[in-house]
């Protein structure tokens, strides 16, 4: 199922939306048109009264399922956004506390930290679009880890700030792992099964009803189908928070990188 989701998310959002739209109106319209050619309205309308009560229960049940899935999707998407902001803060705090250290450790750690953040924004964000990690970013994290772990604080000030630097680095590493895991975490296949089957049942049930005007019936059923498909389209687009046109942006990390570089450029003038 994940490969199908990635296939849809790789499309431009307008193209995917157009395909969903055409699908939503084509199959119900065709079936209703064929049914009305073979079953006259007078015979078909006998289902309207009894079927209406059953359809009300069916519609509520399916609406509850859709609301639950949309809520789960939104919470995961919001969690991914919050994770990126927290990761950007960890990178920023890590870089700031490094200025409390002596050379050459300070310059080496700052350089490796900036290089890592740039790789995340410029390369890893693209590989996460397909749920993959970036090898060079892995190596950059390992180099930064070696710089931090192999250093022994020398002055009293360094001994005070080293635990903070170490803590921020661990946060960066853990948040990156969480981000990579979230880039591959989609809704369980059983939920998609329920959504898709429920959609066809909900729309197909309207075929038991009949309106005096076949064009009015086709229009009403198409609008219902479009509304449901629109919600399904929203679920698909938000399912993988780091993929597709609605992917979580790396802007918080980009902002931190620009600030760090700008601060480093102004440092000699102080």
pTM listed for this prediction: 0.83
> Would you say residue 216 has pLDDT above 90?
no
Integer angstrom CA distances of residue 126 from 88, 112, 244, 249, 250: 18, 21, 10, 11, 10
Looking at residue 270, its pLDDT comes to 42
- Place 267 in a pLDDT band, splitting at 50, 70 and 90: low
For the chain, the residue count is 270
**Which band of pLDDT confidence, cut at 50, 70 and 90, is reported for residue 33?**
confident
**Angstrom distance (rounded) from CA 57 to CA 32:** 22
Q: Using a pLDDT cut of 90, give the percent of the chain over it.
A: 58
DSSP code of residue 106: H
Average pLDDT over residues 106-133: 92
Domain segments of the chain: what residues? 2-265
């Amino acid at each position: 199922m994940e490969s199908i989701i990635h296939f849809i998310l790789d499309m431009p959002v307008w193209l995917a939306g157009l395909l969903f739209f055409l699908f939503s109106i084509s199959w119900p319209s065709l079936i209703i048109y064929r049914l009305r050619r073979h079953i006259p309205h007078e015979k078909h309308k006998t289902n309207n009264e009894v079927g209406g009560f059953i359809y009300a229960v069916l519609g509520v049940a399916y609406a509850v399922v859709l609301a639950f899935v949309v809520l789960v999707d939104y919470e995961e998407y919001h969690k991914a956004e919050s994770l990126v902001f927290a990761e950007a803060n960890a990178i920023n705090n890590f870089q700031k506390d490094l200025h409390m250290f002596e050379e050459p450790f300070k310059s080496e750690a700052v350089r490796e930290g900036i290089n890592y953040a740039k790789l995340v924004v410029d390369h890893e964000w693209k590989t996460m679009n397909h749920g993959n990690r970036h090898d060079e970013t892995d190596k950059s994290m390992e180099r930064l880890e070696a710089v931090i772990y192999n250093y022994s604080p020398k002055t009293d000030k360094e001994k005070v700030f080293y635990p903070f630097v170490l803590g921020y680095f661990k946060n960066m590493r853990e948040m990156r792992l969480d981000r990579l895991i979230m880039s591959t975490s989609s809704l369980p296949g059983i939920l998609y099964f329920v959504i898709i089957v429920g959609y066809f049942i909900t729309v197909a049930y309207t075929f038991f009803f009949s309106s005096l005007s076949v064009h009015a019936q086709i229009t009403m059923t198409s609008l219902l189908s479009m509304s449901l498909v629109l919600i399904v389209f929203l679920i698909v687009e938000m399912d993988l928070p780091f993929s597709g046109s609605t992917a979580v942006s790396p802007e918080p990390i980009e902002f931190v990188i620009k600030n760090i570089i700008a601060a480093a450029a102004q440092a000699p003038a102080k």
